[in-house]
Chains A and B, each alone.
Chain A
């Protein structure tokens, strides 16, 4: 294993432990009794209330020493016992979230991947063609500057409300049964298109601007000038510039992920798309502590997995890192 890889894994491990600790600490550091606050928000019979109170007290384990509480919290995470949600009819939090995260994945992954591919291509064209640049760049600057959720509102308003081409919200129709039928898949794609487009378009602008600047920079470097002086084809020089420019873009992917996930969550709220964002929205309104803690955990996991994937991709793209990974025995 290379030094690069070991360091990354160490950072991710520390981050994970830190995140879990923050998650454990915050309800305990806050003023007031979270159990009472939570119970005061729901209306049930006094009998059920008393039962829930003992259930929560045991779950939090507030009467035990803090180190035991902390270890118990870790145990509950690995056994998948994240408590029950008050805003979703006392369903287990782990259950709600693992259903939701599928929708997040289906929305975010294609948007990220496709915008990366097309954004870089468009940016590269913009970087070498002044006419294209003058048309595309203002559009891209506008897209990058727009908040994700605001752009989602515009798409939803124009295509959903005014033109009535696409549905306003949800992940599939009310009368469609989820399953692997063609009918369901088509209906799913029909609902998926607008939220996907709003994420895709904004990310597209960011990649394109980044790649355009990289290409202009690379085309001015000594190796490009040397190739030009040697009489190489323009296409070949551009290809080398592109391959060099893609590396900072992959690094940028890691940096933009947090912003992207935040934007995607907000977009889901606009389209009432049943991913983590929409659940988060309801959990905040209801002050549903267990659900909030669970969402925090899932977002962190999402970030860790995504960052790790970016690192692996980087390893394949950058020969220098690849050499250190395999110990130079290519």
Chain B
């Protein structure tokens, strides 16, 4: 174990880490995020019911036995939220990760070969992808697919959400690649893959990490909207699906607020936590914002 003094000495030597743990937004956001992550991972230990079990009476408001009440069919809303939160994390990690990966690959290539035919072609594809809305494509695909899992949905969302990452990374790459040290690597005939990896990507690490956070929340929101509209996964449960079933059962009219509002609130708070981390990190990496 290190003593408190040693830790603070260590932090003083690593300014980015120092500002990260001293930034209120990052700390608050991170704790909220970890709370939801733990809830998704271990929440099943807190409830004896599966998400589709008939656990009690129909449409009970929150009580000691069902802390978030029950649905019209008598399923436990808390259990559904736990399983739905799992689907949300899976979607965020897979779709967000995939979108970031495709986005930075396209961005690096287009930026590095800026102005070439490759750049023009990649940017053309990016711009086309920006105009075709994912919702329209998913509507068509899932209308014909009999079965859609959370995993497949995440892959589809991920392969559609990358264009703005690609555009942003390209712009950054264009700015970085004219630096003298990149030119030096160039004349030293270092392979391009290594130049991109070591000279360009390492300089954008914070930026890419923040892009991933935004992709995570963007994918999660997109998935919830799609599930709500009715093109979500056909197996399993998600926060969007819980709200869809609530609306289909006329939850507004009957006043089942625990069934339709709480899942959305949890989703919103999860995304707030991601925004907090993102803005906090922005202040850490960008000292100009720190003063305010």
Contact = CB atoms under 8 A, between A and B. Distances in A.
A259 B274 CA distance: 18
A14 interface: yes
A1 to B, nearest CB: 18
Interface residues of A, number: 63
Contacts of B143: 284, 287, 289, 292
Contacts of B218: 259
Contacts of A14: 124, 128
Given A146-B268, A147-B224, A284-B231, A11 B136 contact: no
A150 B128 contact: no
A269 B229 contact: yes
B144 interface: yes
Interface string A291-307: 01101100110011001
Interface of B: 124, 127-128, 130-137, 139-141, 143-145, 163-164, 217-218, 221-222, 224-226, 228-231, 240, 243, 247, 252-253, 255, 257, 260-261, 264-265, 267-269, 271-272, 274-276, 282, 288-289, 292
Contacts of B275: 141, 144-145
B133 A262 contact: yes
B139 A149 contact: no
A27 interface: yes
A292 B140 contact: yes
Interface stretch (A17-25, A44-52, A79-87): A17-25
A168 B253 CA distance: 8
Given A19-B132, A141-B276, A153 B229 contact: no
Given A19-B132, A133-B292, A220-B288, A259 B228 contact: no
A18 B124 CA distance: 13
A27 B292 CA distance: 55
A11 B144 CA distance: 28
Contacts of A261: 133, 135
A153 B264 contact: yes
Contacts of B253: 161, 168
Contacts of A304: 131
Interface string A301-316: 0011001000000000
- Which 6 A-B pairs rank lowest in CB-CB distance, beginning with the nearest? A150-B264, A145-B271, A30-B144, A258-B133, A262-B135, A284-B230
B267 A255 contact: no
Given A149-B225, A149-B228, A216-B288, A299 B252 contact: no
Given A261-B133, A262-B225, 5 more contacts: A153-B247, A217-B288, A258-B134, A295-B139, A300-B131
Contacts of B276: 141
B128 A11 contact: yes
Contacts of A265: 135, 229
Contacts of A160: 252
Contacts of B261: 150, 153-154, 157
A15 interface: yes
A300 B134 CA distance: 10
Interface majority SS on B: helix, strand, loop or mixed? Answer: helix
B232 to A, nearest CB: 10
A92 interface: no
A254 B130 contact: yes
A85 to B, nearest CB: 14
Given A11-B131, A26-B141, A284 B243 contact: no
A280 B247 contact: no
Contacts of A133: 292
Contacts of B145: 30
B252 to A, nearest CB: 5
A122 B175 CA distance: 31
B137 A22 contact: yes
Contacts of B267: 147, 150
A305 to B, nearest CB: 11
Contacts of B140: 22-23, 26, 292-293, 296
Contacts of A168: 252-253
Scoring B226, B268, B276 by chain A CB atoms within 10 A of each residue's CB, the highest score goes to B268
Interface string A239-283: 000000000000000110111011101100110000001001100
B252 A145 contact: no
A300 B132 contact: yes
Given A157-B252, A296-B136, A303-B132, A263 B292 contact: no
25 contacts: A11-B127, A11-B128, A15-B128, A15-B132, A26-B140, A133-B292, A141-B276, A142-B268, A145-B269, A149-B225, A150-B261, A153-B260, A157-B255, A161-B252, A161-B255, A168-B253, A216-B289, A217-B289, A265-B135, A281-B229, A292-B140, A293-B140, A295-B136, A296-B140, A303-B133
A146 B220 CA distance: 11
Nearest to A254: B130
A3 B202 CA distance: 34
A130 interface: yes
A285 B134 contact: no
Interface string A97-126: 000000000000000000000000000000
Scoring A11, A130, A257, A293 by chain B CB atoms within 10 A of each residue's CB, the highest score goes to A11
